[in-house]
Amino acid sequence: MAPTRETSERMTAGVARLVRTARHLGTRVADHLYGDLPSFGWALLAPLERDGAQRCSVLAGYAGVDVSVVSRQVSALERAGLVERRPDPLDGRASLISLSAAGAAALAHTRQVRSQWAVEALSDWTEEEAQQLSRLLDKLADGLDRAGRRRPAA
């Protein structure tokens, strides 16, 4: 049985509060959390770490933005030494973007800081509660993605 309207409204209010809290914390703690990593860096570096070298078009799909936006962001990451660019062997007109050693170190630092924050935030939770929330967040994200694909953007 699907959740009631009241439960759905309470849940969406909770998600909105979580997003607001994350934004508020993000502006206050970005320097500590991300260090030299630009705010958009995580969204582009994590897929490179996970999947290896990619074209800008693939990274744009992961980030959910236009290729021109990713191209500018990749250029900034390249100037910062966090990514490297090389010609695509399948199409010399295109480039493959890969994670540099400095980019991998920036991701590792960010992960370590995020993990410490999570440990503190969840200090009064049980392992079972944390695992349940993780599963439910994945399920919610999947459901939101499906619903978003069925509805045209406003």
Q: Write out pLDDT tens, residues 96-117.
A: 999 999 999 988 888 888 788 8
- What is the Cα–Cα distance from 152 to 147, expressed in whole angstroms? 10
* pLDDT of 148 strictly over 90: no
Note if the pTM is more than 0.85: no
For residue 100, the model assigns a pLDDT of 95
pLDDT at residue 36 tops 80: no
Please provide the DSSP assignment of the chain as one string. -PPPHHHHHHHHHHHHHHHHHHHHHHHHHHHHHHTTS-TTHHHHHHHHHHH-SB-HHHHHHHHTS-HHHHHHHHHHHHHTTSEEEEEETTEEEEEEEEE-HHHHHHHHHHHHHHHHHHHHHTTTS-HHHHHHHHHHHHHHHHHHHHHHHHS---
7-11, 22-26, 98-102, 107-111: the lowest-pLDDT one: 22-26
**Mean pLDDT of the chain, nearest integer:** 86
For the stretch 42-93, pLDDT in tens is 788 999 999 999 999 999 988 888 999 999 989 989 998 999 999 989 888 8
Percent above pLDDT 70 for the chain = 88
- Taking 70 as the threshold, does the pLDDT of residue 152 lie above it? no
CATH number of the domain at 31-121, please? 1.10.10.10
Query: In the chain, what are the domain boundaries?
Result: 31-121, 124-154
